[in-house]
């Protein structure tokens, strides 16, 4: 069965370190997204991609970057981790840009100390 | 700018009681609305989308453009409905389609 997987499930890092969160999907979807989930804020879009070599900034992109070298993967990099980036991160993919549903990964819980 | 408002952070109801999770939106274009649900220890998943006009797990939601609302309703709550519910608005501009989520409502069904 097709799926979307995130790794690691949990990560603890120190302020200032570079961290990369992995997202891999086997749906063969062109569209991939990264969200962060915080109490009181719900889900907020960080970055998204509509295909290989395409990346776009979302609502809360500062301090994050993504790259899309193939269809299956959209890694999220925190260039210099900050305590404000402690959150649960969700990756998602969708078949089309318009009204197809998002398929979410299980999430990565990141703690920045 | 587009916005999705879920006024209740937490909603507690007794089993068998009716449930209504509120969602209001603001958007200048033609709205496309969704409800996503996250059960304990499970991934976020689509529950409903307004264009389908379907009932899933006994839940329905009607888009009311006059009141700019997309409330989620179920006539008789069940314990397995306890979860986090997010309302989401798909909006577009310059060929870009994005989902904006509300802050979520945690539904707790009391046995």
Model pLDDT, residue A39: 85
Q: Which of B6, B44, B97 minimises the CB distance to A97?
A: B97
Nearest to B27 by CA among B6, B46, B8, B4: B4
* Residue to test with chain B: of A99, A108, A109, most B Cβ within 10 A: A99
Distances (CA, A) of B44 to A51, A60, A71, B40, B59: 23, 20, 22, 10, 17
pLDDT tens per residue across all 111 residues of chain B: 789 999 999 999 999 999 999 999 998 888 889 999 999 989 999 999 887 778 889 999 989 989 999 999 999 999 999 999 999 998 776 556 778 899 999 999 999
Say yes or no for a CB contact (<8 Å) between B100 and A45: yes
Model pLDDT, residue B94: 58
* Contact call for residues B101 and B54 (beta carbons, < 8 A): no
* Contact call for residues B89 and B25 (beta carbons, < 8 A): yes
| Contact residues on chain B for A3, CB-CB shorter than 8 A | none
Say yes or no for a CB contact (<8 Å) between B51 and A35: no
* Contact call for residues B48 and B61 (beta carbons, < 8 A): yes
**How far is A17 from chain B, CA to nearest CA, in Å?**
28
Model pLDDT, residue B98: 79
């Amino acid at each position: 069965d097709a799926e979307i997987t995130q790794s690691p499930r949990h990560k603890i890092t120190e302020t200032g370190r570079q961290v990369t969160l992995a997202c891999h999907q086997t749906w063969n979807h062109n569209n991939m997204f990264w969200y962060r989930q915080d109490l009181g804020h719900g889900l907020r879009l960080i970055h998204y991609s509509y295909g290989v070599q395409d990346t776009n900034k979302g609502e809360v992109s500062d301090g994050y970057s993504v790259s899309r070298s193939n269809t299956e993967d959209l890694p999220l990099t925190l260039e210099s981790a900050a305590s404000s980036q402690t959150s649960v991160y969700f990756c998602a993919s969708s078949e089309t840009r318009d009204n197809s549903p998002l398929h979410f990964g299980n999430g990565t819980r990141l703690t920045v100390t | 700018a587009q916005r999705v408002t879920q006024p209740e952070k937490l909603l507690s109801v007794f089993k068998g009681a009716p449930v209504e999770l509120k969602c209001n939106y603001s958007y200048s274009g033609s709205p496309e609305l969704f409800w996503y649900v996250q059960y304990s220890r499970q991934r976020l998943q689509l529950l409903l989308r307004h264009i389908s006009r379907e009932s899933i797990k006994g839940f329905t939601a009607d888009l009311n453009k006059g009141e700019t609302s997309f409330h989620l309703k179920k006539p008789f709550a069940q314990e397995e409905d306890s979860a986090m519910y997010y309302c989401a608005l798909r909006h577009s501009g310059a060929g870009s389609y994005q989902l904006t989520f509300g802050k979520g409502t945690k539904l707790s069904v009391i046995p």
